[in-house]
Structure 1
Amino acid sequence: MSFITDLFSPSENPRSLGAKFRNQRQKDFEDLFFKNFSKTKPVRILDLGGTDYFWKNSALLDLPNVEITLLNLSLDPNENDRFKAVVGDATSMPQFPDQSFDLIFSNSVIEHLYTWENQQKMAAEILRVGKKHFIQTPNKHFPIEAHYAIPFSQYVPKSWVFFFLTKTKVSRLQKWDPAHAQQYLDEIRLLTLQEMKKLFPGSSIYKESWLGMTKSICAHNLG
């Protein structure tokens, strides 16, 4: 039972399926990064909705001239002075001039913006503020919904999902707090491959696959 719990637990659990995908994603991202950026020249990275935890094993931290800014809706303290934490809204970043960052990075954030309109605003700001970008999101059509680990829950009424989350243990073998469940149901709008292409026209699409199916989608212009 503990194996199943670990496998479908959130990606913060290093034994989870999500963590395995995240680690491979980070490796693939870094391969692209080092093909585009010098190891000696300064590189400014803006991570939208990121944490220092995500980067703790990254080879980028070995580079003396890489500066990573973490932008979140509230100030998120970090233990590593290599990071700069700032408060901001990814859908509107007037504090940053055009092309002020060498790279915009975002991992599983753009689906948490409530509406398609907000997702369009975030994408437009990414393209305005960054010279390069690498943006990841779960694939709407992957059979197991990424946040609840409940098969096909993205296709049924939200009231049904709320019931399953709060009254049963089908989501990661635990019941959700009702307020937490409702918040997730309100804010999550999963994206399709075609929608990601619309948000980031001209970008390359990197697909993460599992058993021949696309689990998540990354749009980038790193070649």
Structure 2
Amino acid sequence: MKKLRNLLDASHNPESIGNKFRHRRFFVFETLIAKNFPAGRKLKILDVGGTAYFWKDKNFLKNYQVEIILLNLDTSETGHPQLRAVKGDATDLSEFGDDSFDLVFSNSVIEHLYTFENQEKMARECMRVGKKFFIQTPNKHFPIEAHYALPFAQYLPSKWVYTILTKTKLSRLHRWRPEKAQQYLEEIRLLSMKELIKLFPGSTLFKEKFLGMNKSFIAHNL
């Protein structure tokens, strides 16, 4: 049971399937970076909604003279000299000038912005402050909803999902706290492939596959 619980846990758990997908995704990212930037080159990256643990266990920090700014609503110590946390809003990056960063990176964040209008704002800001961008988000129409690990939860009424999350252990084998469940149900707005293309016009779309289906999408210009 513990092994299954770990497998279904959120991606911060090294034993989870979500973490394995993240490592596969990062390999794609590193491959694209290598094609665009020579090894050893100085890089300045803005990670919108990023965490220190995501970067600290990877060789990327050793291979590049990279400074990574982690932008979130709240800040915490990163414990690494190449990582710096700042407080900010993904929909308003006005503290940064145009092309301030070699690259803007974001992993599973843009779907947490409540409305399509906010997602448009984030997309515009990412393309404005970054010379390059790499933005990932789960596919709205993948059969398993990415945040709850529940089949077709994105198509159910919110009240039904709330009840499932708070009254049962069907989601990742644990019962959600009511306040967390409500927050997720309010803030998550999954994107379709068509909507992501609209947000990042002219970008290349990479499709992450699982069992032949599109699990998530990456919009980038690398």
Give the TM-score band, short-chain normalised.
over 0.9
Q: How does 1:62-81 map to 2 (within 5 A)?
A: 62-63=62-63, 65-81=65-81
The C-alpha deviation readout for 1:153-207, integer Å capped at 9, x for no partner, is 0001000000000011110111100001000000000001111100001111111
Residue equivalent to 2:200: 200
Residue equivalent to 1:131: 131
Residue equivalent to 1:219: 219
In 1, Cα distance between the equivalents of 2:166 and 2:174?
Answer: 9
Question: Which stretch of structure 1 is more off in the superposition, 138-147 or 60-69?
Answer: 60-69
Q: How does 1:103-114 map to 2 (within 5 A)?
A: 103-114=103-114
Q: TM-score, normalised by structure 1?
A: 0.97
Residue equivalent to 1:159: 159
Q: Secondary structure at the match of 1:71?
A: strand
Q: Secondary structure at the match of 1:219?
A: strand
In 2, Cα distance between the equivalents of 1:167 and 1:124?
Answer: 39
Shift of 1:40: 2.8
Q: Is the 8 A contact 1:75 1:86 kept in 2?
A: yes
Shift of 1:3: 2.8
Q: Secondary structure at the match of 1:94?
A: coil
In 1, Cα distance between the equivalents of 2:101 and 2:64?
Answer: 17
Q: Secondary structure at the match of 2:44?
A: strand
**Counterpart amino acid of residue 151 in structure 1:** P
Residue equivalent to 2:121: 121
Residue equivalent to 1:97: 97
Q: How does 1:19-98 map to 2 (within 5 A)?
A: 19-63=19-63, 65-98=65-98
Q: Is the 8 A contact 1:139 1:217 kept in 2?
A: yes
- Percent identity of the aligned residues? 59
Residue equivalent to 1:169: 169
Q: Is the 8 A contact 2:107 2:137 kept in 1?
A: yes
Shift of 1:7: 1.7
**Counterpart amino acid of residue 149 in structure 1:** A
Instruction: After the TM superposition, list the runs of 4 or more consecutive aligned residues in structure 1 that deviate by more than 4 angstroms.
Output: none
**Counterpart amino acid of residue 14 in structure 1:** P
Q: Is the 8 A contact 2:43 2:64 kept in 1?
A: no
In 2, Cα distance between the equivalents of 1:57 and 1:134?
Answer: 20
**Counterpart amino acid of residue 40 in structure 2:** T
In 1, Cα distance between the equivalents of 2:35 and 2:206?
Answer: 16
Extract unaligned runs of 5+ from structure 1: none
Q: Is the 8 A contact 1:26 1:58 kept in 2?
A: no
Q: TM-score, normalised by structure 2?
A: 0.97
In 1, Cα distance between the equivalents of 2:54 and 2:19?
Answer: 10
The C-alpha deviation readout for 1:97-126, integer Å capped at 9, x for no partner, is 001100000000000000000000000001
Shift of 1:64: 5.2
Q: Is the 8 A contact 1:30 1:59 kept in 2?
A: no
Report how many aligned residue pairs link the two structures: 222
In 2, Cα distance between the equivalents of 1:24 and 1:221?
Answer: 19
Q: Is the 8 A contact 2:41 2:64 kept in 1?
A: no
Q: Is the 8 A contact 1:113 1:189 kept in 2?
A: yes
Q: Secondary structure at the match of 1:69?
A: strand
Extract unaligned runs of 5+ from structure 2: none
In 2, Cα distance between the equivalents of 1:30 and 1:104?
Answer: 14
Shift of 1:28: 1.0
Q: Secondary structure at the match of 2:179?
A: helix
